[in-house]
Amino acid sequence: MDFAAILAAARRADAAYIIDPAQSKAAFEQLGHLWIGQYRDHDSQAVLSHDSQGVYLSISGTRFSAGKLGDLLDDIDTYPVSLSDGVQVTRGAYEGCDDIWKWAKAQVPADTVFNVEGHSLGGWRATYTPLFLPAAQIGVLHAFEPPKGANLAYFQKYSAELARLVVVGNGADVWFGYPRLDGRWIHRPGEMLHLLPAGYRIIDTSAWPGGLDLGDHDIDLIVNRLAVLAAAPAATA
């Protein structure tokens, strides 16, 4: 597992929360990226950047501390949206994606491969990437502490497109198990990285032990834990 690459994605996901465009630009430049631009509206925010390795769409999580109530309403709205082939996704997170992707695709050449990451609501939306891009344009995806955003039919239909999705849960995070009362919503079946106070483990998403810790739903804590793992010997083993 390439902890250095996961850490880099987590740092971009963290920087995606910054609302002020000048500060956002400075933060991405500090990460070694060329800041292409920022998309921002009442319930969505994302940054497009690139480095020598490719183009990155970093989607912000819920900006609740900044008073962006539209983000919170998207979190709450888990009403099912039915797509083709029995696919269902949650409405609030899904409906905010279309404008993000229209903006992002207008900034770069038509055949651009996008690497996508996000934390919380941003990770939720990152898992919907196959709904907006053909398989050939999907790079590496990172979802940090995303809630459960789709039904089994979705993950079966887009299994190839999501093969490079890295799902990261942290500690006893309260929101990784959300929504809790509707069994149709799941995480991508397969391996996930579960960060622990000391170390990590690889488990199937269905084996997530649950938790009620609000403090563990913290992208800064994830960055700190990943930094320790990335600095350890054989971090990419």
pLDDT by residue for the chain (237 residues), tens only, comes to 899 999 999 999 999 999 999 999 999 999 999 999 999 998 899 999 999 999 999 999 886 665 566 656 766 788 999 999 999 999 989 998 999 999 999 999 999 999 999 999 999 999 999 999 999 999 999 999 999 999 999 999 999 999 999 999 999 999 999 998 888 999 999 999 999 999 999 999 999 999 999 999 999 999 999 999 999 876 544
Phi-psi region of 181 (alpha: psi -120 to 50; beta: other; left: phi over 0): alpha
SS3 199: coil
State the DSSP string of 201-215. EEEEGGG-----BST
Q: Determine the pLDDT at residue 71.
A: 59
Q: Determine the pLDDT at residue 1.
A: 86
Q: Determine the pLDDT at residue 237.
A: 42
Q: Determine the pLDDT at residue 235.
A: 53
Query: Cβ contacts of residue 81 below 8 Å, gap of 6+?
Result: 88, 89, 90, 91, 94, 95
Q: Determine the pLDDT at residue 64.
A: 63
Q: Determine the pLDDT at residue 96.
A: 87
Q: Determine the pLDDT at residue 181.
A: 81
Q: Determine the pLDDT at residue 180.
A: 86
Q: Determine the pLDDT at residue 66.
A: 56
Q: Determine the pLDDT at residue 236.
A: 45
